Amino acid sequence: MKNKNSYILLFLTFFTCLSQAQDKRPNILFVFTDDHAPHAIGAYNGWLKSVNPTPNIDQLASQGMLFENSFCSNSICGPSRAVILSGKHSHKNGFMNNGNSFDWNQQIFPKILRGTGYQTALYGKSHLKGRPQGFDDWAVLPGQGLYYNPDMIFPNGRRRVDGYCTDVVTDLAVDWLKEKRDADRPFVMMVQHKAPHRNWMPALRHLNLYDDVNIPEPATLFDRYEDNAPPARFQELEIDRHMDLNYDLFVDLTPEFNQPPSQKRQDRSAWHNMKRMSPEQLRQWRAAYGPKDAAFHEADLEGKDLVRWKFQRYAKNYLRCIKGVDESIGRLRDTLKELDLDENTIVIYSSDQGFYIGDHGWYDKRWMYEESLKMPFIAYWPGVTQAGSRNTMMIQNLDYGQTFLDMAGATIPEDMQGASLVPLLQGKTPANWRKSIYYHYYEYPSVHMVPRHYGIRTERYKLMHFYQFGEEWELYDLETDPDELTNIYGRNEYAQLSFDLKNQLTELQRHYEDDSDISEKPDTWKAEMRGSK
């Protein structure tokens, strides 16, 4: 009998040890924002560093690893998220532009992790339409979501949640960590903020932040696209010509500001977003922007001075939104510490693509140019990442899914198209790591009018092909021309380079099996675009 009992004891001890061993698998906290360009992060040393909106993200970088060459594969929101979940390029996961609906029935990393015993949670912006699959708990913003008092869709229905969106989403994440999580199992939690997406509405507590600061201007604020192929001159994302004083910048243009404008103008007016605010929120907003607007009207600016003013207002509101995100990271990390989870939790910060903060005179993204091609990627993995390290290998959002699976020790499906970043995070440099990345953007015609294009970026060069308007190519030497102002495509001395890069590009398309139809011409084809300057 004694013997039998000791066998049972041994058996139980074995399983307890086994489950404890499972508990050792790291937690993953993935904080992901919308449109946060790396050059608006202090640790990335961009021209906005002096403003430093991101002390908490900078701290994460100083404790972990920052990736300097991190790129998206399709610079737009939904597609970037679909690539992350599936580990496959847009043409493989089926979500090529924001108009698509994501097929949640497909293989995605949260489902796989869940199958291995991980708990999975998603809060904030999904932008993939449909009911999220693969998560134990979730709450997502419908579509783009709203900054103030947003509606959220929960597994049991949709309801309004009062507060500022970044705080609301952080609250949900903190609540899950403290109250809903099963402490015996590891988790992956995706906290996906709307901020700093257009229309840039900061939290009330940040409305006067940077009032006394002059935001440095990007070197290319007055770029006239003289050397680009025609598409750059036919876009609709210029601060000068397309950014609306009222809709985008919340400038009071009427005596009835904050009152419902005529029905006709409502959708393209500030009111479209402000009508959501409570009377007290509106009062505080008005108190903060009223004096700024009065000074603007008084100055009666035009030409370049007006562009400069719009840039300041835009950049400040954008950075104020980022300040809210940065505080969210601080709160989430404090919560991990409070719950004694920080030692075994990997914290990652990333954003769905980069963004133009006046670079080339623009806002928005979509292009394969550097500012919107780059994504921030900072990872803190206690005991693994070397504090303050900076990695220069080329990585993509395509790699995240495989990385998360690898971190959890899960099997990586053969058909995922990226590579696990775990060796890089461990400080190793695999000999066969990629030397170039593939990019393909599909959303045209659409808002901002950036035509479809694909391309290759190597460590030094970038070759892009705009194929909807004939054969338009651009080639840049990023070493001598980091701002991409001199298109060297078509120059005799670069004929061999263009030839080689085209071959490499074709090879990438073959490798990723991109057989997208590029012959289709849009109805809005502008004949004058060809060859125009």
**Smallest distance from ligand SGN to CB 198, Å:** 4
Residue 198 binding: pick among ligand SGN, Ca ion, none (C-beta 5-8 Å cut-off by kind)? ligand SGN
**Smallest distance from ligand SGN to CB 529, Å:** 20
Interacting residue ranges for ligand SGN, rule: CB under 6 A: 34-35, 76-77, 98, 127, 144, 197-199, 364, 447-448
Query: Around Cβ 60, how many Cβ atoms within 10 Å?
Result: 25
> In the complex with ligand SGN, which residue's Cβ is closer, 139 or 237?
237
Angle at 470 between CA 94 and CA 442, to 5 degrees: 20
> In the complex with ligand SGN, which residue's Cβ is closer, 25 or 36?
36
Scanning 255-263, 292-300, 325-333, 350-358 for contacts with Ca ion by CB under 5 A, the matching segment is: 350-358
**Smallest distance from Ca ion to CB 448, Å:** 12
> In the complex with Ca ion, which residue's Cβ is closer, 77 or 122?
77
> In the complex with ligand SGN, which residue's Cβ is closer, 76 or 221?
76
3 state DSSP class of 477? strand
Residue 199 binding: pick among Ca ion, ligand SGN, none (C-beta 5-8 Å cut-off by kind)? ligand SGN
Q: Which residues touch 15 (CB under 8 Å, ≥6 apart)?
A: none
**Smallest distance from Ca ion to CB 436, Å:** 24
**Smallest distance from ligand SGN to CB 195, Å:** 11
Using Cβ positions, the residue closest to ligand SGN within the complex turns out to be 77
Residue 360 binding: pick among Ca ion, ligand SGN, none (C-beta 5-8 Å cut-off by kind)? none
> In the complex with ligand SGN, which residue's Cβ is closer, 113 or 203?
203
Residue 88 binding: pick among ligand SGN, Ca ion, none (C-beta 5-8 Å cut-off by kind)? none
Per-residue CA distances from 9 to 4, 14, 20, 508 (Å):
9, 8, 16, 57
Residue 119 pairs in a beta bridge with 187
Angle at 93 between CA 503 and CA 444, to 5 degrees: 70
> In the complex with Ca ion, which residue's Cβ is closer, 35 or 399?
35
287, 277 contact by CB (below 8 A): no
Residue 252 binding: pick among ligand SGN, Ca ion, none (C-beta 5-8 Å cut-off by kind)? none
Annotate 437-475 with b (16+ C-beta within 10 A) or e (fewer). bbbbbbbbebebbbbbbbbbbbeebbbbbbbbbeebbbb
> In the complex with ligand SGN, which residue's Cβ is closer, 102 or 118?
102
> In the complex with ligand SGN, which residue's Cβ is closer, 193 or 316?
193
- Name the nearest CA neighbour of 170 among 188, 153, 195, 187: 195
Contact between 40 and Ca ion by CB under 5 A: the answer reads no
Q: Which residues touch 318 (CB under 8 Å, ≥6 apart)?
A: 40, 196, 200, 355, 357
CA 212 – CA 316 distance, rounded (Å): 11
- Name the nearest CA neighbour of 421 among 379, 382, 483: 379
Residue 399 binding: pick among Ca ion, ligand SGN, none (C-beta 5-8 Å cut-off by kind)? none
Query: Binder to Ca ion among 26, 30, 33, 34 (CB under 5 A)?
Result: 34
> In the complex with ligand SGN, which residue's Cβ is closer, 54 or 98?
98
> In the complex with ligand SGN, which residue's Cβ is closer, 333 or 374?
374
Two tokens at 483?
A: 């701002």
Query: Around Cβ 321, how many Cβ atoms within 10 Å?
Result: 32
Residue 468 pairs in a beta bridge with 470
CA 221 – CA 218 distance, rounded (Å): 5
Query: Binder to Ca ion among 293, 352, 359, 443 (CB under 5 A)?
Result: 352
Contact between 77 and Ca ion by CB under 5 A: the answer reads yes
Using Cβ positions, the residue closest to Ca ion within the complex turns out to be 77
Surface-to-core class of residue 190, CB atoms within 10 Å of its CB (0-12 exposed, 13-18 middle, 19+ buried): buried
> In the complex with ligand SGN, which residue's Cβ is closer, 28 or 85?
85
Per-residue CA distances from 193 to 98, 167, 232, 423, 446 (Å):
17, 9, 30, 28, 24
**Smallest distance from Ca ion to CB 85, Å:** 15
Say which DSSP state 177 is in. Answer: I
Angle at 483 between CA 480 and CA 489, to 5 degrees: 65
CA 328 – CA 164 distance, rounded (Å): 12
**Smallest distance from ligand SGN to CB 335, Å:** 27
End-to-end CA distance of the chain: 93
CA 529 – CA 472 distance, rounded (Å): 11
Per-residue CA distances from 165 to 127, 141, 277, 347, 478 (Å):
15, 9, 12, 21, 38
Two tokens at 131?
A: 């009911």
**Smallest distance from ligand SGN to CB 413, Å:** 27
CA 81 – CA 73 distance, rounded (Å): 11
Contact between 443 and Ca ion by CB under 5 A: the answer reads no
> In the complex with ligand SGN, which residue's Cβ is closer, 37 or 407?
37
3 state DSSP class of 499? helix
Residue 119 binding: pick among Ca ion, ligand SGN, none (C-beta 5-8 Å cut-off by kind)? none
**Smallest distance from ligand SGN to CB 479, Å:** 30
Residue 447 binding: pick among ligand SGN, Ca ion, none (C-beta 5-8 Å cut-off by kind)? ligand SGN
**Smallest distance from Ca ion to CB 54, Å:** 18
> In the complex with ligand SGN, which residue's Cβ is closer, 199 or 468?
199
**Smallest distance from ligand SGN to CB 353, Å:** 7
**Smallest distance from ligand SGN to CB 84, Å:** 14
Amino acid at 273: N
**Smallest distance from Ca ion to CB 352, Å:** 4
Scanning 256-264, 344-352, 381-389, 429-437 for contacts with Ca ion by CB under 5 A, the matching segment is: 344-352
Contact between 35 and Ca ion by CB under 5 A: the answer reads yes
* Residues that bind Ca ion in the complex, under the rule CB under 5 A: 34-35, 77, 352
